[in-house]
C-alpha cells in the first residue's frame, strides 16, 4: 500500500527484532500518557492515522487522533465499548436489544449478589467489566453455582489486573454470530457475518469455529445487522472497524459485545475482499482516507478454527500440522503460542494457541474441513506446572 508503519506497543523486546527504529513504547494501561507519546512522535515524524488492534489500544488511538485533529471515534464512545458497564447502560438507555443485567459491586456479599441476580433469574452469566476473549466469563444455573462463579471470576480478574467490578447478565439461549464491520461517517458497512457452529452454552465460553457466510435466515441476518447498527449509534462510535457478538433467539437479535476494533487474533485472515484485499488493507485504507474500493467479500465460503487449549499448563508443542494442512480446503495452520508458554482455556485464559484457515464452495464444506484438520492436531501440554 506504500504506507510506512510505526508500531506502538508495551513489548519493546518484540519490536527490536521486527521493527527497528519504526517503533514506539507506550503504556497501554495509561491511555493519556500513551497518547502523549504518539503526539510527541507526530511532532518529529508526522502521523496520518492511528489504528488499534486490541481493546486497550482503542482508547489510546481515539485520544491520540482527537489531539492530532484526525478522523476518529470519540474517546468516550470507545471507552464505553470497552467497559461492559458503560456498554450495557448505553444500550439500555437507547433500547437496543441485549441481555438484562445487574452490576455487582466489589464489596457486595455473596448473599447480596444472590439477591441482586434473583431479579434476572437463572441461568445467568457472570463476567468482569473490562476483560475480553471470554476470559472470566462463567455461566451459573442456580444460587450455589453463582457463589462459586463469583469467587472464580473475582480471582481471574484480580490476577489479570482488571477492574474488580463484575456484571451478571441473563443468559440468552440460541446461536451466536460475530459481525465484522466498518463504520464510515457513522454508517455501518457490514463486511461479514460469521456463524459459530459450536454451541456456546457454558459454563465457560471458549470460541472455536467461525464460518462465513452465515447460514442464518435472511430475517435473522437483517435483525443482526440492525441490532449491531443500533448498538454503534448508542455508543456514539463513528469511524473504523467494529467487531460485535450477537445472539439470535426466536428471530430476535440480542447484542452481547461491541468492540471498536477488528476480530481478534489472526481470524481476520479468513476474510478477503474485491481483488484479494485483506481486512487490514481495508481498515488502513479507511483510516488514511484512501478509496475503499470493493467491500464485497470474495465468492465462496471461508472460516477459521481457533485451536482449543485442552488443559492448563506449559505448552510443549503441537503435532500433526502437516496432516492438518493436507485436508482438502485447508489453506493454512498457524500456531502462534510458542513452546514454554503458559496456557489456560477460558475462563482462566485469554489468549489463543493457534489458527487453522479453510475455504470451500459452501459453509458446510468449510466447517467439515476445519473439524477434520482440528482432529489431526495434537496439543502437548505439561500440566504438572500448574499449582494446586
- Check: CB of residue 247 under 8 Å from CB of residue 176: yes
- Pull the grid cell for residue 277: 484485499
pLDDT recorded at residue 14: 63
- Check: CB of residue 275 under 8 Å from CB of residue 299: no
pLDDT recorded at residue 130: 86
pLDDT recorded at residue 250: 84
Q: Which CATH code for domain 300-388? A: 3.90.1170.50
d(CA 190, CA 297): 10
pLDDT recorded at residue 115: 93
pLDDT recorded at residue 21: 67
Using CA atoms in the order 199, 202, 208, 212, what is the torsion angle rounded to 10 degrees?
A: 40
Q: Is 206 helix (H, G, I), strand (E, B) or coil?
A: coil
* Unique residue bearing C-alpha cell 433500547: 95
Q: Is 219 helix (H, G, I), strand (E, B) or coil?
A: helix
Domain boundaries, the chain: 7-79, 100-170, 174-299, 300-388
Name the fold adopted by 100-170: Dna Ligase; domain 1 (3.30.1490)
pLDDT recorded at residue 388: 42
pLDDT recorded at residue 164: 74
Which segments of the chain have a pLDDT < 50? 388
Structurally, what CATH architecture does the domain formed by 174-299 represent? 2-Layer Sandwich (3.30)
Amino acid at each position: 500500500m506504500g504506507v510506512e508503519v510505526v508500531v506502538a506497543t508495551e513489548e519493546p523486546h518484540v519490536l527490536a527484532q521486527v521493527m527497528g527504529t519504526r517503533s514506539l513504547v507506550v503504556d497501554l494501561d495509561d491511555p493519556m500518557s500513551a497518547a502523549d507519546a504518539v503526539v510527541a512522535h507526530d511532532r518529529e515524524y508526522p502521523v496520518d492515522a492511528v489504528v488499534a488492534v486490541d481493546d486497550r489500544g482503542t482508547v489510546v488511538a481515539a485520544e491520540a487522533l482527537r489531539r492530532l485533529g484526525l478522523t476518529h471515534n470519540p474517546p468516550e464512545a470507545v471507552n464505553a465499548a470497552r467497559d461492559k458497564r458503560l456498554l450495557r447502560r448505553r444500550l439500555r438507555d437507547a433500547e437496543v436489544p441485549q441481555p438484562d443485567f445487574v452490576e455487582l459491586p466489589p464489596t457486595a456479599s455473596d448473599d447480596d449478589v444472590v439477591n441482586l441476580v434473583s431479579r434476572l433469574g437463572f441461568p445467568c452469566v457472570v463476567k468482569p467489566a473490562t476483560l475480553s476473549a471470554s476470559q472470566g466469563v462463567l455461566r451459573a444455573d442456580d444460587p450455589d453455582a453463582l457463589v462459586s462463579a463469583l469467587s472464580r471470576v473475582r480471582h481471574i480478574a484480580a490476577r489479570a489486573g482488571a477492574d474488580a467490578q463484575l456484571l451478571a447478565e441473563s443468559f440468552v439461549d440460541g446461536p451466536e454470530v460475530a459481525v465484522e464491520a466498518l463504520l464510515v461517517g457513522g454508517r455501518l458497512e457490514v463486511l461479514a457475518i460469521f456463524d459459530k457452529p459450536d454451541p456456546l452454552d457454558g459454563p465457560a465460553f471458549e470460541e472455536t469455529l467461525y464460518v462465513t457466510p452465515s447460514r442464518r435466515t435472511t430475517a435473522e441476518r437483517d435483525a443482526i445487522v440492525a441490532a449491531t447498527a443500533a448498538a454503534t449509534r448508542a455508543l456514539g462510535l463513528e469511524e473504523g472497524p467494529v467487531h460485535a457478538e450477537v445472539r439470535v433467539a426466536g428471530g430476535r437479535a440480542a447484542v452481547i459485545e461491541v468492540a471498536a476494533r477488528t476480530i481478534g487474533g489472526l481470524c481476520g485472515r479468513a476474510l478477503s475482499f474485491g481483488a484479494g484485499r485483506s481486512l487490514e488493507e481495508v481498515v488502513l485504507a479507511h483510516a488514511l482516507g484512501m478509496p475503499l474500493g470493493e467491500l464485497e467479500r470474495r465468492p465462496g465460503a471461508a472460516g477459521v478454527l481457533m485451536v482449543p487449549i485442552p488443559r492448563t499448563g506449559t505448552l510443549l508443542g503441537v503435532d500433526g500440522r502437516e496432516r492438518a494442512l493436507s485436508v482438502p480446503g485447508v489453506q493454512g495452520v498457524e500456531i502462534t503460542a510458542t513452546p514454554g508458554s503458559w496456557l489456560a482455556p477460558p475462563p482462566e485464559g485469554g489468549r489463543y494457541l493457534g489458527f487453522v484457515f479453510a475455504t470451500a464452495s459452501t459453509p458446510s464444506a468449510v466447517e467439515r474441513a476445519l473439524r477434520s484438520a482440528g482432529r489431526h492436531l495434537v496439543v502437548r501440554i505439561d500440566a504438572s506446572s500448574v499449582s494446586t
